[in-house]
Amino acid sequence: MGFRDGNNEIVGFDVDLAKETLGRLGYEVVFQPID
């Protein structure tokens, strides 16, 4: 997860996939950088 948008939010296919998949299961996803 190394990409960030103009608002400094972590973005990318893996982020979108996790949000969609876990959202359908009723979970809220929170991404935290491990820099």
**1-35 pLDDT tens trace:** 568 999 989 899 999 999 999 999 999 999 888 87
Residue 16 has a pLDDT of 95
Residue 29 has a pLDDT of 92
Closest CA to 16 of 34, 24, 6, 7: 24
DSSP 8-state assignment for residue 6: T
Cα 3 off chain centre by: 10
* 31: CB partners within 8 A, 6+ apart: 1, 10, 15
* 3-state SS, residue 11: strand
Q: Is the pTM of this model over 0.75?
A: no
